[in-house]
Structure 1
Amino acid sequence: MRKTKPIVAALLAGTALLAQGVAASACTSLILKAKDGGVVYGRTMEFSLPMRSQAMVMPRNIALAGTGPSGAAGTGLNWTGKYAAVGLNGVGEKIFVDGMNEKGLAGGLLYLPNLAQFQEVSAAEAKTSIASFEMLTYVLTSFATVAEVKAALPKIKVNQAPQATFKGPVPTHMTLHDATGASLVVEYVGGALHMYDNPTSVLTNAPAFDWQITNLGQYVNLSPVEPNPMTVGPLTIAPPSTGAGLHGLPGDTLSPSRFVRAFFFSRNAPQPATTEEGLTTLHHIMNAFDIAPGSVVTKADSAAGGGVSGDETTEWTVYADLKNLRYTFNTYDNPNLQVIDMAKVKLEGKEPRLFPLASTPVMTPIGQ
Structure 2
Amino acid sequence: MKDIDMRSLKNIIFPSILALLFFCQTVGACTSFQLVAADGSRVYARTMEFQFPLYSDVVIMPRNFHFVATGPNNQPGASWDGKYGVVGMNGFGKPLVIDGLNEKGLAGGILYFPDHAVYANPKDVDAKKSMAPWEFMSWALMNFASVAQIKAALNDVSVINIVQPDLKVVPPFHYVFHDASGAVLVVEPIKGKLVAHDNPYGVMTNSPPFDWHVNNLGNYVKLSPVEPDPIKVFGQSVSPISTGAGFLGMPGDSTSPSRFIRALAYTSTITPAKSADENVRLAEHVLHNFDIPIGSIRTPINKKTFMELTQWSVISDLKNMRFYFSTYDYQPLRMVDLNRTNFDKPTPTFISLKSKYSIETLATQ
Instruction: Report the TM-score, using the length of structure 2 for normalisation.
Output: 0.89
Matching residue of 2:283 = 282
Gaps of 5+ in 1: 1-19, 302-307
Matching residue of 1:220 = 221
Matched residue SS, 2:72? coil
What residue identity is the alignment partner of 1:340? Answer: V
Match of 1:355 among 344, 351, 354: 351
Matched residue SS, 1:66? strand
Decide whether the 8 Å contact of 1:173 with 1:186 is kept in 2.
yes
Query: CA shift at 1:161, angstroms?
Result: 2.3
Equivalent-residue separation in structure 1 for 2:86 and 2:286 (angstroms): 25
Query: CA shift at 1:234, angstroms?
Result: 5.5
Matching residue of 1:17 = none
Matched residue SS, 2:267? helix
Matched residue SS, 1:122? helix
Match of 1:333 among 329, 333, 357: 329
Equivalent-residue separation in structure 1 for 2:352 and 2:187 (angstroms): 30
Matched residue SS, 1:96? coil
Equivalent-residue separation in structure 2 for 1:21 and 1:95 (angstroms): 24
Matching residue of 2:12 = none
Equivalent-residue separation in structure 2 for 1:345 and 1:108 (angstroms): 21
Matching residue of 1:262 = 263
Query: CA shift at 1:22, angstroms?
Result: 5.5
Quick one: structure 1 residues 21 and 55, their matched pair in 2 at CA, closer, same or farther if it must change by over 3 Å? closer
Matched, 1:316 2:312: yes
Query: CA shift at 1:230, angstroms?
Result: 1.3
Equivalent-residue separation in structure 1 for 2:324 and 2:331 (angstroms): 12
Decide whether the 8 Å contact of 1:56 with 1:88 is kept in 2.
yes
Query: CA shift at 1:165, angstroms?
Result: 6.2
What residue identity is the alignment partner of 2:202? Answer: S
What residue identity is the alignment partner of 2:316? Answer: A
1:103-252 equivalence runs, <5 A: 103-122=104-123, 125-163=126-164, 166-232=167-233, 235-252=236-253
Matched, 1:35 2:43: no
Matched residue SS, 1:231? strand
Query: CA shift at 1:170, angstroms?
Result: 1.6
Equivalent-residue separation in structure 2 for 1:53 and 1:87 (angstroms): 10
Decide whether the 8 Å contact of 1:119 with 1:192 is kept in 2.
yes
Match of 1:66 among 63, 66, 69: 69
Equivalent-residue separation in structure 2 for 1:163 and 1:227 (angstroms): 53
Equivalent-residue separation in structure 2 for 1:295 and 1:69 (angstroms): 39
Query: CA shift at 1:162, angstroms?
Result: 2.5
What residue identity is the alignment partner of 1:38? Answer: S
Query: CA shift at 1:142, angstroms?
Result: 0.3
CA RMSD of aligned residues (A): 1.9
Aligned residues: 341
Equivalent-residue separation in structure 2 for 1:186 and 1:62 (angstroms): 24
Deviations 1:91-148 (CA, angstroms, capped at 9, x unpaired): 3321111000000100100001111011112387111111110011000000000000
Instruction: Report the TM-score, using the length of structure 1 for normalisation.
Output: 0.88
Equivalent-residue separation in structure 2 for 1:165 and 1:21 (angstroms): 17
Quick one: structure 1 residues 166 and 202, their matched pair in 2 at CA, closer, same or farther if it must change by over 3 Å? farther
Decide whether the 8 Å contact of 1:299 with 1:310 is kept in 2.
yes
Matched residue SS, 1:343? helix
Matched residue SS, 1:163? coil
Matched residue SS, 2:262? helix
Query: CA shift at 1:168, angstroms?
Result: 2.2
Match of 1:46 among 44, 49, 58: 49
Deviations 1:282-313 (CA, angstroms, capped at 9, x unpaired): 11111000011111012447xxxxxx951000
